[in-house]
């Protein structure tokens, strides 16, 4: 057997391309807005995580341009050595203040943030308790850690309590969960989770990648949404969604941040965030703090689409956020629905197993504060038309 035989035998993507049902790696020829251009055609974008619509905000673009003019295109090294700029430190100070934490630490990507933080905190005698629907970056961070991983049923606090009881003798316990689950759009049952954590003396880590800028009166995420900020030990966030940039961060007690800062391989051995990304994130943070009306508009659009899809008879699961899944179940029917929408000028993300459980294939739709009513009305019209044609709805 040759090492590359598995590669040569992998034909699924080529077969899908030949059949005209390959939905991935579509090259977009315009900026990340509510309307994008692909192959010279305009598409309504309902597959983006640009929740507040800030990627095209003049202040964000201007900040990125000025940063390139001052600092150049990159830092040419890791934060640990020569890659720390004054704006990295400014961003961390601002994030800590915004999140009401003692300190914050930025990484070059959100994936690295989870990978580096979890692997650094967990030693061989520690135990991680993770939701079965956690993001892949959390899963890989847990795999990389030397401790033991115990998975509990999705958002099932009774199951979490039961499993924690088995490890009451263990000193080091960490519960890791998404705040908003990226495929289903549902929110973690944080009130019960923190109560159970305190009962079993476990620390709580919340991945707020899809929550910061979206949930809470000030956009601080899941813990603010529930009024539980003082009962969550570590909050993680990404810059590739509401912050309209690239990178990630954690916010926690100063001693925790200091330990991770000096021990996380994903930070120490990786090049730092480029100046343009840092400056864009800072500008986005300014807007998140000063323009709460964007969140108001985002939730108006979210309610419109949740109610619209439900009224049409679509299964949208347990979503509570701007992530609205259209659960279809069958892989081929999901791809067929995607193809029909694409032909009509709507860009959406088809998701099949293993990203979701078998038999739960879906179209992952997500909405922005900047979507117009006309765009959303057209989306609902086309979903109704195609849904009836394919027998997804009556």
Share of the chain above pLDDT 90, in %: 95
Residues near 302 by Cβ (< 8 Å), separated by ≥ 6?
Answer: 321, 322, 324, 367
What are the residues whose beta carbons fall under 8 Å from the beta carbon of 51, sequence distance 6 or more? 210, 213, 214, 241, 242, 298, 322, 366, 367, 368, 369
The one catalytic residue among 48, 108, 137, 182: 182
CA distance linking residue 223 with residue 345, whole number of Å: 37
Q: Which residue in 57, 135, 241, 371 is the catalytic one?
A: 241
Decide: 385 and 393 in contact? Cβ < 8 Å: no
97 included as an active-site residue: no
pLDDT for 178 equals 98
Average pLDDT taken over every residue of the chain: 96
The structure tokens listed for 327 are: 């659960």
CATH of span 58-290: 3.40.640.10
> Mean of the pLDDT values across residues 178-204?
97
The pLDDT value recorded for residue 235 is 98
| Catalytic choice (88, 210, 225, 371) | 210
Does residue 276 have a cis peptide bond before it, meaning omega lies within 30 degrees of 0? no
Residue 351 to residue 26: CA distance in whole angstroms: 15
Where in the sequence of the chain do the CATH 3.90.1150.10 domains occur? Answer: 12-45+292-389
Radius of gyration of the chain (CA): 21
CATH annotation of 12-45+292-389: 3.90.1150.10
pTM of the model: 0.96
73 is catalytic: no
Query: What per-residue confidence (pLDDT) applies to 86?
Result: 98
Model pLDDT, residue 175: 98
The percentage of residues in the chain with a pLDDT greater than 70, rounded to a whole number, is: 100
Active site includes 210? yes
Q: 65-95 pLDDT, tens per residue?
A: 999 999 999 999 999 999 999 999 999 999 9
Q: What string of H, E and C letters represents the secondary structure of 88-149?
A: HHHHHHHHHHHHCCCEEEEECCHHHHHHHHHHHHCCCCCEEEEECCCCHHHHHHHHHCCCEE
Q: Could you say which DSSP state residue 371 is in?
A: -
DSSP 23: -
Phi and psi (nearest 5°) for 105? -140, 130
Domain with CATH 3.40.640.10 in the chain: 58-290
Instruction: Classify burial at 269, counting beta carbons within 10 Å of its beta carbon; exposed 0-12, middle 13-18, buried 19 or more.
Output: exposed
């Amino acid at each position: 057997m040759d090492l590359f035989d598995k590669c040569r035998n992998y034909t699924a993507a080529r077969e899908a391309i030949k059949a005209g049902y390959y939905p991935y790696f579509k090259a977009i020829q315009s900026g990340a807005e509510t309307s994008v251009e692909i192959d010279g055609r305009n598409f309504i974008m309902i597959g983006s995580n640009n929740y507040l619509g800030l990627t095209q905000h003049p202040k964000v673009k201007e900040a990125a341009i000025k940063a390139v003019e001052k600092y150049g295109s990159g830092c040419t090294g890791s934060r640990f050595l020569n890659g720390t700029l004054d704006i990295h430190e400014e961003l961390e100070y601002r994030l800590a203040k915004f999140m009401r934490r003692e300190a914050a630490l930025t990484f070059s990507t959100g994936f690295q943030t989870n990978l580096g933080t979890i692997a650094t905190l967990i030693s061989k005698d520690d135990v991680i308790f993770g939701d079965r629907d956690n993001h892949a970056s959390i899963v890989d961070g847990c795999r990389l850690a030397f401790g033991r991983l115990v998975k509990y049923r999705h958002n099932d606090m009774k199951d979490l309590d039961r499993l924690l009881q088995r490890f009451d003798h263990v000193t080091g316990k960490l519960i890791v969960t998404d705040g908003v689950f990226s495929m289903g759009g549902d929110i973690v049952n944080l009130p019960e989770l923190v109560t159970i954590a305190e009962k079993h003396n476990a620390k709580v880590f919340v991945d707020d990648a899809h929550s910061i800028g979206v949930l809470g009166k000030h956009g601080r995420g899941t813990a603010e949404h529930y009024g539980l900020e003082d009962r969550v030990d570590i909050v993680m966030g990404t810059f590739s969604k509401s912050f309209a940039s690239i990178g990630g961060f954690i916010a926690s007690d100063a001693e925790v941040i200091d330990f991770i800062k000096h021990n996380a391989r994903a930070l120490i051995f990786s090049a730092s965030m480029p100046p343009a990304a840092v400056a864009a994130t800072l500008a986005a943070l300014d807007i998140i703090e000063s323009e709460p009306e964007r969140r108001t508009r985002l939730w108006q659009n979210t309610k419109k689409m949740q109610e619209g899809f439900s009224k049409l008879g679509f299964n949208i699961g347990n979503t509570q956020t701007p992530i609205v899944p259209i659960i279809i179940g069958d892989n081929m029917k999901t791809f067929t629905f995607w193809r029909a929408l694409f032909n009509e000028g709507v860009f959406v993300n088809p998701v099949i197993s293993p990203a979701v459980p078998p038999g739960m294939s879906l179209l992952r739709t997500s909405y922005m504060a900047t979507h117009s009513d006309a765009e959303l009305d057209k989306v609902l019209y086309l979903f109704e038309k195609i849904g009836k044609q394919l027998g997804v709805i009556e």
